[in-house]
Amino acid sequence: GDSVTQMEGPVTLSEEACLTINCTYTATGYPSLFWYVQYPGEGLQLLLKATKADDKGSNKGFEATYRKETTSFHLEKGSVQVSDSAVYFCALLSGGYQKVTFGTGTKLQVIP
């Protein structure tokens, strides 16, 4: 079945450091890929998405590129802020009924 593998956290970075959170997937066909963010005590928010190979999703300074050859969708940001501290979930959509498979989440902590 479909699956998403994310790098284990927590990830602790200093403010203005570069961020990469690795995500790889296994799916049949051509899935759409997403990153969601969950701030403490809240639900998940869609951060960015890519629907076909080589697409780049971007939002709020975050970027991720859909790499079909490596089945990856790594999340990157050039300079993180304290306000980026949250849990980040990689996810894919494949097949009918728009069911989404999520990774286990990576907690990011940014310290001043």
Partner 1 sequence: SQTIHQWPATLVQPVGSPLSLECTVEGTSNPNLYWYRQAAGRGLQLLFYSVGIGQISSEVPQNLSASRPQDRQFILSSKKLLLSDSGFYLCAWTLERDYGYTFGSGTRLTVV
**What is each CA distance from 99 to 31, 50, 91, 93, in whole angstroms?**
11, 16, 10, 6
- Provide the H-helix boundaries in 1-112: none
Nearer to partner 1, 86 or 103 (CB): 103
- Select 74 or 101, whichever has its Cβ closest to partner 1: 101
Pick between residue 70 and residue 98 the one whose CB is nearest to partner 1.
98
Residues that bind partner 1 (CB under 8 A): 32, 34, 36, 42-46, 49, 51, 89, 93, 97-105
CB of residue 67 vs partner 1: minimum separation in angstroms?
18
Q: How many CB atoms lie within 10 A of CB 41?
A: 5
